[in-house]
Amino acid sequence: MGEVAEIRLGDKTIELPVVVGSEGEHAIDISKLRAQTGYITLDPGYANSGSCESAITFINGEEGILRYRGIPIEQLADKASFLEVAYLLIYGTLPKREELEGFTESIRRHTMLHVDFTKVFTALPKDAHPMAACSATVGAMATFYPDSLDPRDPSQVEVSIHRLIAKLPTLAARAYKHSVGQPSMYPKNELNYVGNFLHMMFGNPCEEYEVDAVISKALDLLFILHADHEQNCSTSTMRLVGSSMVNLFGAVSAAINALWGPLHGGANQAVIEMLAEIRDEGMTGRQFVERAKTKDDTSRLMGFGHRVYKNFDPRAKIIKKACFDVLNQLGVHSQMLEIAVELEEIALKDEYFVERKLYPNVDFYSGVIYNAIGTPSNMFTALFAIGRLPGWIAQWRELHQDPTFKIGRPRQVYTGPTETSFVPIDKR
């Protein structure tokens, strides 16, 4: 028998099995605790609770390590393409050349939207946030593809996966075009995944759009860095919603909404707005950092801090370097980047941030790159969603392939009134 943990409740001692992960992480399995004792565990925000066993992504927050399927993020960032990483996450291994070609070709051939999506977009107000539009239109995919809604049918799941990866960039670019009142662009099959997205975002029907290799490479890198991050808020949403056996489109639509919030993926938009505010109000970095230390959630130093990383977020290190490289290659001078560097330098030496182990996270520098390549700030989180989609899908697939699969259903400790009699309306 492996390691066990003991819990003492009154005069009873209960033994609980300990599960050990492949990187040595220890967890006490409390799944039978209530049946044995009547007690549940309480962990608001799940800061100390594992919701699943997973073989997809490993994070060591103390040492700043991130690996997809065992491969360090630094190597993937340096050597892989986004679709290669998507395949790795979803199917578990790096694709052989012909597998990658087949996958890429299938994605390429699913990028077009059903013509009736025009009606869906027409129904959305012009200033709809792209994340709301993405969530709504991904949800609407379930109405267009009733032939691929069964999560128990592997061939239906497979076609939904390809449709989602292929069409989310088309939907996101179309949401943007809708918001600026420009005609939407058809996908172009001669372009690669990222090039095609750039063409649909920044091109227009009146002239040929030439994909800039520096911008395309930078975006591919950003997608790789965002592709998975184990059980974060949107991924846990994907698993929880997916555990009801809803179709893949419904679960991705929910995950997009979870990502939108400023404490999660929406932080990239919040960071650039913070940098713009500092610039426009002529504040010094020090003044803003002091404000961020006050106990007021709205003035947090956005792009700093992480639930898991108590050291440098390895993605932030890669993005910071890419930020300098890209701006340099594009010949762009960015005041936003200067302000970001100043904020980082001040915060990393400030006792408040040091004590709480708050470091720059993935969102701190990504917005500066998006901004430099001409992306409007309300599209930043939609780009995060395109990058994160393979991770959501991989986690959903793993959940459904788990022999111990169960619907997700946490418990609670009830703190409301005990039984109280109904009072008729004229006696209240």
Which positions lie near ligand CMC, rule CB under 6 A? 232, 263-265, 267, 292, 300-307, 356, 358, 361-363
Phi, psi of 16 (to 5 degrees): -120, 135
Nearer to ligand CMC, 30 or 343 (CB): 343
Nearer to ligand CMC, 17 or 261 (CB): 261
Nearer to ligand CMC, 163 or 300 (CB): 300
Instruction: Tell me the CA distances in angstroms from 183 to 62, 121, 122, 344, one per residue in order.
Output: 48, 12, 12, 40
Nearer to ligand CMC, 111 or 361 (CB): 361
Instruction: Tell me the CA distances in angstroms from 161 to 88, 167, 346, 393, 413, one per residue in order.
Output: 14, 10, 44, 7, 38
Rounded to 5 degrees, what angle do the CA atoms 340, 220, 358 make? 35
Q: Tokens 């409301």 map to which residue?
A: 416
The CA distance from 60 to 231, in Å, is 13
| Short-list 107, 399, 106, 134, CA closest to 254 | 134
Nearer to ligand CMC, 75 or 298 (CB): 298
Burial class (CB in 10 A: 0-12, 13-18, 19+), 389: buried
Shortest CB 66 distance to ligand CMC, Å? 12
Nearer to ligand CMC, 162 or 310 (CB): 310
Nearer to ligand CMC, 250 or 303 (CB): 303
Clarify whether 29 is annotated catalytic. Answer: no
| Short-list 63, 47, 50, 42, CA closest to 21 | 50
Q: Edge-to-edge, what's the strand order for the sheet holding 71-72? A: 57-60, 65-68, 71-72
Indicate the DSSP class of residue 44. Answer: G
The CA distance from 351 to 242, in Å, is 42
The CA distance from 427 to 369, in Å, is 63
Shortest CB 265 distance to ligand CMC, Å? 5
Q: Are strands 26-28 and 4-9 parallel, antiparallel or unpaired?
A: unpaired
Shortest CB 291 distance to ligand CMC, Å? 10
Residue nearest to ligand CMC according to CB distances in the complex: 305
**Considering 306, 325, 400, 426, which one is annotated as catalytic?**
306
Clarify whether 129 is annotated catalytic. Answer: no
Q: Tokens 């006792």 map to which residue?
A: 351
Shortest CB 196 distance to ligand CMC, Å? 25
**Considering 228, 313, 350, 363, which one is annotated as catalytic?**
363
Shortest CB 141 distance to ligand CMC, Å? 24
Report whether 351 contacts 293 (CB < 8 A).
Answer: no
Q: Which residues are catalytic?
A: 306, 363
